[in-house]
Amino acid sequence: EVQLVGSGGDLIQPGGSLRLSCAASGFAFGDYWMHWVRQVPGKGLVWVARIDDTGIIANYSDSVKGRFTISRDNAKNTLYLQMNSLRAEDTALYYCVRSERGSFDFWAQGTLVTVSS
Amino acid sequence: EIVLTQSPATLSLSPGERATLSCRASQSLFRSLAWYQQKPGQPPRLLIHEVSKRATGIPARFSGSGSGTDFTLTISSLEPEDFAIYYCQQRSNWPFGYTFGQGTKLEIK
């Protein structure tokens, strides 16, 4: 069974840093591109970042470029999102997501990041 | 960035009725259009990928269609568990990005 378990969400002050993790199991993690998608509670979905299966190619939305870094450890079946210079507008539920053929086929439960003083 | 506009924002129907949800793109898409269902407190679930292909385990009452800039999700006969929020999503290489529509809330009439 495919499982994605996100963790690391917390209450953090503006300007602070946080690292999210996502543990994958039940599938060949190293064969898939992985993403982070966020959602302000009660609002819509916003794509944040993606990383290719090897961990070499990464892309970001304009709103997080230069502040967030997506990475992965295929030996540990784990995806990461390093979040620096956090802003109030980064407050959201962050989903770790697997993709195939341009769509998002498995989603973690989400981990909540709250940026507030 | 390609913008996806979903309509209506809210759709009020009864179980057994047919639901038709629309997603319009700001420029033509090359079959990279997906639909998701989200229920309160849960992550989205993939229903349809590549415009019309049902994801694993998705009932046959869900179908997707369309081309170019206009796409439709149809639920042929609503079950009680189908009342939720539905999002469309696209991936494009130029301009690069993944975008979601703002969602359609399907509520019980």
Query: Among candidates B101, B79, B72, B86, which has minimal Cα distance to B36?
Result: B86
pLDDT in tens, B33-88: 999 999 999 999 999 999 999 999 999 999 999 999 999 999 999 999 999 999 99
pLDDT of residue B96: 81
The residue of chain B nearest to residue A6, with distances taken between CA atoms, is B43
Interchain contact, B101 vs A44, CB within 8 Å: yes
Q: How far is B43 from chain A (nearest CA, A)?
A: 6
Taking CB atoms and an 8 Å cutoff, what residues of chain B touch A96? none
Whether residue B43 and residue A95 make contact (CB cut-off 8 A), yes or no, is yes
A108 in reach of chain B (CB within 8 A): yes
Q: What is the mean pLDDT of residues A11-40?
A: 98
pLDDT at position B1 over 90 = no
Question: Which tokens hold the place of B43?
Answer: 């992550």
- What does R_g of chain A's alpha carbons equal in angstroms? 13
* pLDDT higher than 80, residue B94: no
> Of B46, B91, B102, which has the smallest distance from its Cβ to A105's Cβ?
B46
Q: How far is B42 from chain A (nearest CA, A)?
A: 7
What is the structure's pLDDT at B3?
94
Find chain A residues with C-beta within 8 A of B90's C-beta. Answer: 102
Select from A53, A22, A56 the least CA-distant residue to A37: A22
Mean pLDDT to the nearest integer, A70-93: 98
Q: Is A88 helix (H, G, I), strand (E, B) or coil?
A: helix
Residue labelled with tokens 């898409």: B29
